Structure 1
Amino acid sequence: MTRSVSFRLLFVGSRALVSEERYLAVAGAALRGGADAFLLREKDLAGRALLSLARGARRVATGTNALLIVSDRLDVALASGADGAQLPERSFTPKEARALLGEERLIGRSVHDLSGALRAEKDGADFVLIGPVYPTPGKERALGPAGAAAIRASLSIPAVAIGGIDAERAREVLAAGFDRIAVVRAIASARDPEAAARTLRARLEAKGR
């Protein structure tokens, strides 16, 4: 079965950057501004708290016709009605996740090198997140736009660039060959998250013309 990976701008939520009180409001602003998918990736939350947040995010995503993707926690993805799951490189394999999630939901995989990307494709991932493209606070070793693009060029499944991307760096990433990006701080730390998302979306739309 072929599943359509329709999103181009993925916003990754972060409670480290946004207070819990503003978390869903910022997600909603990002989606209204042009992000068409939201990744819930809150590793420290216990199951019940994460499920509650995921259900809130599901409502926000539905209201903007965006996708909700849950990182790692397949149980929460199922219980919240998420559109898919994103698997860290050391998590379940895409095949294992597919057996639990069924045929309808998207399954993505985070990869950091060519071998990991090829393995993810072979194992049935619908898309991959390739990164970090630029250094981030937690990951100093970066692939660079050209390095990430070289991995992308070896795949037949959609690839999303992630890691340190902002509105200016998005130009470099798109010029390198990507047509999908994921961002965290570029939206979460912005004074106006909706406007930040709108700027990033404009970069993507210009790439498509």
Structure 2
Amino acid sequence: MQRTFPTTDIYAITDNNLSLGRSLEHVVSALLRAGVRIVQYREKDKDAGIMLEECRLLRRLTQEAGACFIVNDHVDIALLVDADGVHVGQEDLPVAAVRSLVGAERIIGVSTHGPNQLAQAIAQGANYVGVGPVFATNTKKNVCAPVGLDYVRHAAKHSSIPFVAIGGIKEHNVASVVAAGATCCCLVSELVGADTIEEKVAHVRATMAQADK
């Protein structure tokens, strides 16, 4: 079965440390009820066995909701749970190596921080790229300096594959990211750390739609 990157406005990433003590199932179920159609599992500080079980849960939830499920970094776990794809960073396995493991049908996303990395990811056969960090962010360790809106504008003009703007994006600044040309934005703490996740998704979506007019 060919997996495709969905045409959607919000890309959600899990983070247990920012979820206000709520379970992964609670958070992701709320995101899916709110209409989020792509969820990435990114938990850096858990044992492999726990990550496998959590990804099995998320695979079931996303399948039931008709949503796309991406696993960060762990190609082995992505394959074991039949995820739709895997996302890798600049320090992880290269796209060609990942493709040899996951096959032609699965989605590969790559984090990029500038035009040269964008061009390289496209040339290597990535299905989508992350563009960022747009703003300063504390949700990921060892993150590079913010790349700003200029790189978003560059990606909007030059990327031949879908891109996701990521890094420090909140309800209060997402309009500027959309105005720079992003059609899909990733929010982490703003969503998983919201008191009412469904309401936050609705507010962010409305702000994005207004900025796109």
Residue identity in the other structure for 2:82: G
Kindly indicate whether the alpha-carbon contact (under 8 Å) linking 1:9 and 1:34 is maintained by their aligned counterparts in 2: no
Report deviation, 1:30: 1.2
Q: Match for residue 4 of structure 1?
A: 4
Q: 1:8 to 1:105 in 2, by over 3 A?
A: farther
Query: Following the alignment from structure 2 to structure 1, what is the Cα–Cα distance between the partners of residues 26 and 88?
Result: 25
Report deviation, 1:156: 0.7
Q: Match for residue 165 of structure 2?
A: 161
Q: Match for residue 196 of structure 1?
A: 200
SS in 2 for 1:11: strand
Kindly indicate whether the alpha-carbon contact (under 8 Å) linking 1:39 and 1:68 is maintained by their aligned counterparts in 2: yes
Report deviation, 1:3: 5.8
5+ unaligned residues in a row in structure 2: which ranges? none
Report deviation, 1:19: 5.8
SS in 1 for 2:11: strand
Worse-matched range after superposition: 70-79 or 191-200: 191-200
Q: 1:59 to 1:205 in 2, by over 3 A?
A: farther
Q: Match for residue 133 of structure 2?
A: 132
Residue identity in the other structure for 2:194: A
SS in 2 for 1:107: strand
TM-score (structure 1 length as normaliser): 0.91
Q: In the alignment, does 2:190 pair up with 1:183?
A: no
Query: Following the alignment from structure 2 to structure 1, what is the Cα–Cα distance between the partners of residues 22 and 193?
Result: 15
Percent of pairs with identical residues: 29
Kindly indicate whether the alpha-carbon contact (under 8 Å) linking 2:20 and 2:193 is maintained by their aligned counterparts in 1: no
Residue identity in the other structure for 1:34: G
Deviations 1:76-98 (CA, angstroms, capped at 9, x unpaired): 00111111100111111111111
Query: Following the alignment from structure 2 to structure 1, what is the Cα–Cα distance between the partners of residues 153 and 114?
Result: 11
Q: Match for residue 81 of structure 1?
A: 82
Kindly indicate whether the alpha-carbon contact (under 8 Å) linking 2:111 and 2:131 is maintained by their aligned counterparts in 1: yes
Deviations 1:86-139 (CA, angstroms, capped at 9, x unpaired): 011111111111111111111100111111111111110000001110101254
Query: Following the alignment from structure 1 to structure 2, what is the Cα–Cα distance between the partners of residues 158 and 124?
Result: 12
CA RMSD of the aligned region, Å?
1.9
Deviations 1:156-201 (CA, angstroms, capped at 9, x unpaired): 1111000111122111111111101111011011110111112223
Deviations 1:31-87 (CA, angstroms, capped at 9, x unpaired): 211211111011222221111010111112122211110001001001111111001
How many residues align structurally? 208
Kindly indicate whether the alpha-carbon contact (under 8 Å) linking 1:135 and 1:163 is maintained by their aligned counterparts in 2: yes
Query: Following the alignment from structure 1 to structure 2, what is the Cα–Cα distance between the partners of residues 159 and 191?
Result: 28
Q: Describe how 1:40-59 pairs up with structure 2 within 5 A.
A: 40-59=41-60
Q: In the alignment, does 2:150 pair up with 1:149?
A: no
TM-score (structure 2 length as normaliser): 0.90
Report deviation, 1:203: 3.6
Query: Following the alignment from structure 2 to structure 1, what is the Cα–Cα distance between the partners of residues 121 and 144?
Result: 23
Q: Match for residue 94 of structure 2?
A: 93
Q: 1:207 to 1:78 in 2, by over 3 A?
A: farther
5+ unaligned residues in a row in structure 1: which ranges? none
